[in-house]
Amino acid sequence: MQLYPAIDMKGGKCVRLKQGSFQQVTVYADEPAEMAKLWVMQGASYLHLVDLDGALAGHSVNEAAIRAIVDAVDVPVELGGGIRSAETVEYLLNLGVARCIIGTKAVEQPEFIRELVERFGAERIVVGVDAKDGMVAVEGWEKLSSISAIDLCSRMKEYGVRHIVYTDISRDGMLTGPNVEATRQLTEATGLDIIASGGVSGMKDLEHLNANGIKGAIIGKALYENRIFLPEAVAAFERAGQECTVSWSDLKTDAAGLVPVIVQDWENGQVLMLAYMNQQAFEDTVRSGKMHYYSRSRQSQWLKGETSGHFQYVKSLYLDCDNDTLLARVEQVGVACHTGSRSCFYRGIKTFL
């Protein structure tokens, strides 16, 4: 399944909307190109860009930010928002955009899509189907049309379209989970490459989409709010089985032969605890799929949850750039802290705003 980190642009900045409302905007970065570089550095192989101002205006508005992104990264990008003429498509493709996403015009003038596919090729033209209660929305989600999502997708298939970005507006920016059933129905009914957009809240949502045969998923707010760790998602859904193998001999230990381990919740990114491993704990963790540690105070190895039942099931292990610290992403049963707190880091010292 192809993953598409989303970069939505408004006023030249990287933002996220809630349910498509331009009155509910959160700014995540002043320079979208810097965000693009971050996602690529973390393993993104494709980016999904949206010119939100362009969607309302009917023409490209954030061209400077788009150009900066294309110049900054070496992975393909797809772009939607205000693309309503063949001249605009040609201009953007020449700018370096790999795919142009057409939404409103596909509803208002379906034959326009046929012309674009014939002129530029099916790999360069994507149709954006944004729906609310099964009906397609247009003009930046401000208006509902009289055509259903499945009818529009079926017509687009007749015109040679291969890729559809399907957004359930009610789920967008809400972190409530994507509309998997509607996306699956579109995939099965049309046989098209349906890319799910809207509502992805964590790795379990991606697992659900992947299990239902969905070909792609756009990830927005879940990335920006650290609910999904992109390197882990890429490894799980794009590069399964391709992770490099690290042995204990590759790690740099301290004088006591230990390596610190930062432990994060797999689903929401919360830091749960810091512990240490010796070689035996590391090897037992890799072998069993449960987190084992070495207690410096007791000077003995221990299995997390052995007495409490609060096991930590390993989802992924990462090694830092200096080879001296591990990051474990785990499914936590119960709580991580012996005090009964979900995380050991529950005492605030100072907040800087």
Catalytic residue ranges:
8, 130
**What is the H or E stretch that residue 180 is in?**
helix 180-190
The CA distance from 283 to 120, in Å, is 53
Which two tokens mark 38? 């971050």
Which two tokens mark 87? 């001249």
Phi-psi region of 14 (alpha: psi -120 to 50; beta: other; left: phi over 0): beta
Q: How far apart are the first and last CA of the chain?
A: 38
The CA distance from 80 to 299, in Å, is 58
Give ∠ CA 36-42-44 in degrees, rounded to 5.
Answer: 60
The CA distance from 278 to 300, in Å, is 10
The CA distance from 33 to 66, in Å, is 8
Which two tokens mark 88? 């605009």
The CA distance from 315 to 25, in Å, is 33
**From the CB of residue 130, how many other CB atoms can be counted at a distance below 10 Å?**
27
Q: Of 237, 238, 267, 235, which Cα lies nearest the Cα of 332?
A: 267
Question: Judging by DSSP bridges, how do beta strands 163-168 and 125-132 pair with one another?
Answer: parallel
The CA distance from 330 to 132, in Å, is 35
Burial class for 92, CB neighbours closer than 10 Å (0-12, 13-18, 19+): buried
Q: Of 63, 7, 54, which Cα lies nearest the Cα of 32?
A: 7
User: What totals of helices (H) and strands (E) does the chain contain, helices first?
Assistant: 12, 18
